[in-house]
Amino acid sequence: MTVVKHSKNAMKSAALLGTLALVLAGCSSDTGGSDSTENIELNVASWATPDSLSEEMADWWYTEIEERTDGRVTFNIDAADSLCSASEIPECVRDGRADIGQTLTDYSTQLFPMASISSIPFLSPGSEPVAKAIHELSTEHEGAAALWEENNLHPIAHVPPGRLLLGGDTELSSVDQLDGLRLRMAGQYAQEAVDAAGANSVVLTAPETYEGIERGLADAAGFPLDGTVAYQLKDILPEWTDPGIGTYTTIGMWMNNDVYNDLPDDIRDVVDEVTEEYNSEHAHRIFNDVTTEQCDLLLDTIDELNQWDEEESQRWEDSIEADLEERWAEGAESDGLTDAAGYLEAYKTKLDEHSGDMEADPSIACAERG
């Protein structure tokens, strides 16, 4: 392995990648699993835009590992969409083009039934309990642990970017107003809630949405508060509201499992330590801090973030005839998650256990400021 500086804007040429591959191939093959003084570079494929929630959260993880290894581990963080597109990042990590990746799990839901559970509407109220539940079950649930290994991915974190907000040209204050609307939506099962309301789901990645709205491909968009700022959607959609669905997707972060297992023992211990602290505390602290700051930027532009009352949210939930929990379990089993029903029950138990950990959700706090 070789050293590279921690750079958010670095872009590698194919020639340089080839050179690094030769260097890696020339390293002693017996260093993994033991302590070592070698310097290690880890290449990162990220979807994160500058100053976004994704960037702020991941940067804490990179920096802590660099500092705690005294610079022996460094990260080369490629600019968004340079090494791999946002939708391709999970495969880039699996096949070794990147050592670490960060993007929405929506882009490869077949790999992440353990995380797509968060998209079941009206099930997961806040980011912190969801992230902690998925993290803990990645090792505690045998089927989940086996599927992570089978997919050659070592999970670092799965943090929901926030509660679902709906943005449009006019205020969307009831489920009736969704009928016939072309709505850019994410979240595998949240999309079914949109269909039940009579809206038409439009498939656009987050970076494609601004242009898609401008070109008339969609009338409105479903995003967390972070997306209204990070993708400038507040500038073209003046009305935003929280319809009460809760979380609907996660920002996933993974390491190639072979790379993780080949790390020297002392380095792997640091990675595990930082990852545990990240999931137990710092991801959620950063989420709250960044989202609160983004609320200021949002309200400076649109003046007010609205909320549906509980009765209207319940009307939407009641309109969903399909049993989405059962549908998730069937799909998860099909995607290779053994004992998906057991995972669902364990997930619900974890949500209850961690609900007391959650501070006031920053999206709700933002709406109450308006």
Domain presence at residue 318: yes
Domain presence at residue 348: no
Domain presence at residue 346: no
Domain presence at residue 338: no
Residue 266 sits in the same domain as residue 122: yes
Domain presence at residue 345: no
Q: What is the mean pLDDT of residues 100-120?
A: 94
Domain presence at residue 9: no
Residue 83 sits in the same domain as residue 207: no
pLDDT of residue 31: 44
Q: How far is CA 188 from the centre of its chain?
A: 13
Residue 141 sits in the same domain as residue 283: yes
How far is the C-alpha of 165 from the C-alpha of 172, rounded, in Å? 10
How far is the C-alpha of 92 from the C-alpha of 350, rounded, in Å? 31
Nearest to 139 by CA among 130, 147, 128, 131: 147
Domain presence at residue 298: no
Percent of the chain with pLDDT over 70: 89
How far is the C-alpha of 117 from the C-alpha of 110, rounded, in Å? 12
pTM above 0.95, yes or no: no
Q: Strands 73-78 and 40-46: what pairing?
A: parallel
Residue 261 sits in the same domain as residue 320: no
How far is the C-alpha of 313 from the C-alpha of 329, rounded, in Å? 24
Out of 236, 260, 290, a domain closes at: 290
Print the SS3 string covering 190-221: HHHHHHHCCCEEECCCHHHHHHHHHCCCCCEE
Q: Strands 165-168 and 220-223: what pairing?
A: antiparallel
How far is the C-alpha of 22 from the C-alpha of 92, rounded, in Å? 19
pLDDT of residue 183: 96
pLDDT of residue 35: 63
Confidence bin at 34 (pLDDT 50/70/90): low
Nearest to 255 by CA among 243, 273, 268, 240: 268
pLDDT tens readout for residues 79-107: 888 889 989 999 999 999 999 999 999 88
Print the SS3 string covering 126-188: CHHHHHHHHHHHHHHCHHHHHHHHHCCEEEEEEECCCECEEEECCCCCCHHHHCCCEEECCCC
Domain presence at residue 2: no
Residue 156 sits in the same domain as residue 200: no
Residue 223 sits in the same domain as residue 237: yes
Biggest CA–CA distance in the chain, Å, is 64
> Nearest-5° angle of CA 328, CA 86, CA 198?
45
> Nearest-5° angle of CA 290, CA 295, CA 301?
135
pLDDT tens readout for residues 46-57: 999 888 899 999
Q: What is the mean pLDDT of residues 239-247?
A: 95
Residue 256 sits in the same domain as residue 234: no
10 Å CB burial of residue 18 (0-12, 13-18, 19+) is: exposed
- For residues 271 and 260, the answer to whether their CB atoms sit within 8 Å is yes
User: Please, what is the end-to-end C-alpha distance for the chain in angstroms?
Assistant: 52
Q: What is the mean pLDDT of residues 189-210?
A: 91
Residue 143 sits in the same domain as residue 80: yes
Residue 239 sits in the same domain as residue 274: no
Residue 283 sits in the same domain as residue 172: no
How far is the C-alpha of 221 from the C-alpha of 180, rounded, in Å? 14
pLDDT of residue 357: 67
Residue 62 sits in the same domain as residue 137: yes
Residue 147 sits in the same domain as residue 197: no
Confidence bin at 157 (pLDDT 50/70/90): very high
Give the position of tokens 């999206």.
Answer: 363
The crossing angle, in degrees rounded to 10, of helices 142-150 and 340-354 is 110
Confidence bin at 36 (pLDDT 50/70/90): low
What CATH number corresponds to the domain at position 217?
Answer: 3.40.190.170
pLDDT of residue 330: 97
Instruction: Give the CA distances from residue 323 to residues 113, 154, 192, 320, 358, in Å, rounded to whole numbers and listed in that order.
Output: 16, 31, 11, 8, 27
Res. 360: pLDDT tops 80: no
Q: What is the mean pLDDT of residues 194-219?
A: 94
For residue 143, what are the domain limits? 14-162+249-290
Query: Structural domain tally of the chain?
Result: 2
Out of 266, 290, 314, a domain closes at: 290
Res. 115: pLDDT tops 60: yes
Most confident of 23-27, 34-38, 217-221: 217-221
pLDDT of residue 213: 96
Q: What is the mean pLDDT of residues 58-86?
A: 94
